[in-house]
Amino acid sequence: MITLQELFKKGAATLRDLPRPGLEARILLLKAGSLAAGAFSADPGRLVPDKKAAAYERLLARRLTGEPLAYITGEKEFWSLAFRVGPGVLIPRPETELIVETVLRLSARGKERIIDLGTGSGNIAISLAKELPGARITAADISLRALRRARENAARHGVHNIGFVYSRGFAGLKKGVWRTRYDFIVSNPPYVSISEWENLPDEIRHHEPKKALVAGETGLEFILKLIPAARPFLRPGGYLVFEIGFGQKDAVLLLFDESWDEIGVENDLAGIPRVFAARRRSIPKAFFSAPPLGRWRA
């Protein structure tokens, strides 16, 4: 048998060409050994059974193929919560926490209605549900796999103020209890262009769902539809909050017409404009004509 310390050194050497070899080697070692986070530092000389050492070797081999660490471990942290993720579901990114921060800043902390469009693993909806227990939240997605994962995560974190609905854009929200006016519409939409997609790391292109990332030729195709389509589903004074990509701020700003006010953008920790927030203005209908809901195509 081999010790935890020896296995760790071997793993770090194996992953030496990755940006964080030591951290990833440790995470995979804890996963393979079914160990608690403090086990390694508490007893690095602990002997590891051959079966678990072999499992560690398999996890290292998967990581070397470019499989994302989050898919190998089966979870990713977001808003200090652990979310189960897997193939076919976008891995939550730290910068997306800015959506949660923005909603909390604008929220009246009452019985607000919130919809998360394209919920994925449910990370945004569930984080908001934890922070706003009085809110009524709808998590919508076009992927049944993503919705199943989001339901699992909601159960895992014990939140009960979320409803889940299959929807292509807003199409699934036109009937029944889902057709209502919301106080917040939030989304981390696809905003990557086709050319940008081709230049993304293999780890992303070969494993994460392209549909959740790529919008089209310019990267703005989804947002171009999102802004006018969201308006009929927002109550006057309600907010649309969504993420954008690098360099998209000016182009997105031009997509808002006179039916919106309090338009602003928040920068992420790298100083990149990342999250737009805009309020639906209360103005006479003569000022604008809302597009028919049927025009939405995701």
Stretch (H or E) spanning 272: none
Cβ neighbours, 10 Å, residue 164: 19
Domain ranges of the chain: 2-65, 75-295
How is residue 36 annotated by DSSP?
A: -
**What's the pTM value of the predicted model, to 2 decimals?**
0.91
Task: Supply the pLDDT for residue 42.
Answer: 82
Q: Which tokens is 222 given?
A: 């989804």
Q: Which tokens is 276 given?
A: 């737009």
Which residues does the chain have with pLDDT short of 70?
Answer: 176-178, 283-298
**230: CB partners within 8 A, 6+ apart:** 170, 185, 240
Task: Supply the pLDDT for residue 41.
Answer: 78
What one-character-per-residue DSSP string does 169-216 give? TTGGGSSGGG-S-EEEEEE----EEHHHHHTS-HHHHTTS-GGGTEEE
Task: Supply the pLDDT for residue 288.
Answer: 45
Question: With b meaning 16 or more CB within 10 Å and e meaning fewer, what string describes 129-154?
Answer: bbebeebbbbbbbbbeebbebbeebb
Sign of CA pseudo-dihedral 44, 45, 51, 53: positive
Task: Supply the pLDDT for residue 63.
Answer: 97
DSSP H helical ranges for the chain: 4-14, 21-33, 39-42, 50-64, 69-73, 97-106, 123-131, 144-156, 194-198, 202-205, 221-230, 249-253
Task: Supply the pLDDT for residue 297.
Answer: 36
Q: Which tokens is 162 given?
A: 């979320």
CATH code of the domain occupying 75-295: 3.40.50.150
Which tens digits make up the pLDDT trace of 216-245? 999 999 999 999 999 999 999 999 999 999
